[in-house]
Chains A and B, each alone.
Chain A
Amino acid sequence: MTGEFIRKNAVRVVLLGPQRMAPILDQAFSLLDVEGNVAVITAGWQEREAEDQELTNALGRPGINLKLYARSDEVFRDDPELFEANRVKQDFLKQLQELYRRRLTHAMAAARQMQRLAHSDSVASGEVVVPHLSRAIAMVRQLDDEHAAQVEARIGQFHTEWKPSERPAVARQRAEIQAILDQCEAVAIAGGHVVALLNRMRLFGLQATLAQLPIVAWSAGAMVLTERIILFHDSPPQGRGDAEVLGNGLGLIPGLVALPNARRRLLLDDRQRIALFARRVAPAHCVALDERCWLHYTSGQAWRAGPTTRQLTESGQCVVIEAV
């Protein structure tokens, strides 16, 4: 249903990197010819959701915060059964993520080992190692797909069983949100906590509504609009830094993995890590969304990207996007 809806409407989105230090939001909305009210989603900021003064100033046009985080608090206060069902679902998803992470550690270790062998003067010839590397990456991809499917199934189960959109507490909020959206020309989706943001957008059924409006989204906001959300950090203080599939995003932008703040979070000079990342998610394109970067997507058309916007390649480089 949602997919059909999206396909019939031209989705117009500009994706950006972090906006705090060098905002280009104003220019992004200009790129979409938006002059009027902008609906603002800052649910990723969680309890700081309402502290949007700086953001509203950067918009360069009037902004109305949809306050999805506060609305979800209200929903769960008014509907304890839904709250409990949601908690059970989230606990299950956390466990699923942990089990997936444990399996992923081994699958990624195998892929890295094959990769090292393929690039070393080992006794194994390239002829032997290269197919093994491909198989090892295929196993990681299979694990990723399996995890995404399990996550989606559990979320689907929650929505089928509880039909949140039909429950009064949610329906009331959805009506108010729609009334605000009716006054707006476009939507701005800020970054922050990607799960907090995604869950609230799903709870209020925003994926279909958003497809009708031009959107500027950055960081986690950009991630939730894609088909698949990848959590990533190459040098965390704990663990090996294996990127993880969180699950499916809202799917408004196909064939793209959003990597906000990539310069800071990824070892972009490590060709083997970059190559493995790119091969793991291919044919989706890995787009690095750093400060001042932008990528303009209109459904059915080629992307347009800012001059400094880059993507990861399967050869292990991070190169400027021309046109994909």
Chain B
Amino acid sequence: MQTWDMDLEELKEEETNLPGTKLKTELLTVNMGPQHPATHGVLRVEIKTDSEIVAQAIPHIGYLHRCMEKHCEAIDYRGVIPFVDRLDYLAAMSQELTYSMAVEKMLGTEVPRRALVIRTIVSELQRIASHLMAFGTYALDLGAFSPFLYAFDEREKILTFFEEISGARLLYNYFWIGGVWNDITDRQLGYIDNFLNGFEKELVKYDKLVSSNRIFQERTMGVGTLSLADAHSFGATGPVLRGSGQAWDLRKVDPYLIYDELDFDIPIGEGQRGSELGDCYNRYIVRMLEMVESVKMIRQSMKLLEPGPVIGKVSKVIKVPKGETYTRTECPRGELGIHLVSMGDKTPYRLKVKSPCFTHTSILPHIAPGQMIADFVASIGSIDIVLGEVDR
């Protein structure tokens, strides 16, 4: 296959000056998005194509920019939580967790034990919901419609539980500074237990339906390969980095909540089923294996649940002492960091969000050259970006 590593200008010159012909060929610029279903939001990718092959892809971001970081400087600490929800709207609980942990760290608040366990259960359920969405839409991108419906069926059960505990289906405002809003009842714990039993069977079904499907494997194996060195230099985290073969997970490396008491593995891409290390299939399979680990974690944490209060002592008007902090957690899409600077006021002085999706978007121009356009769609789906978090 022809390689496209050469400079684009050089390529143009070579193409236009074919000896013995008067016909000129040049690269065609195609805009993919911002309203393209395969870009998972409002991402516009400017693709320079030579027939079906992508020579260059430039992502243009900013269509969902809502000035969230600047806006947070004008509202009080409790009011920021609905805004961090809207960063990654598919995993809102994980964003709330990071923010509330950052404020608690600066305030020195002690979070009750029961709240910590509930937070662990809920954020792992959120990870399953988010990965189900990634799985469903990825299969949809590659032309399989029914896995999308099956994934939504299971995700719906998690959202029903979240709706019961928080009152909202997508943007929860459930993790408060100092704990969680509502307690979990025994009936709801039974509901989760039922769900997990059924979900393990569903995972086997997904494996048969999609992961071991030969057509799916041909579409994803060897496509969009990201070597470990490249993953390091792009600052990739989460399933993208683990798909390239490094076992880096903040839940193990830098444990927060009660993760140090839980027994779980870090699934990494190992070139499963004859795939190439770091390709789309590895990133996909890491997500599927992570769901199995999450089920294990939820089962263990449900045993650790003891009665007690769910919210610690926080003053009515939150005034964070002067200083700054950087808190990071392992979100479903990678490492989310929040850099919070306070001047001792009622509002944050600066709230910088380090978003994994923004980092992963920068990988696209690197893996795109030389791919077919249909494979490029597979590459976008495999890094699983949410544009609300890219643009903020």
Asked whether A and B interact, the reply is no
Q: Which residues of A contact B (CB under 8 A)?
A: none
Q: Which residues of B contact A (CB under 8 A)?
A: none
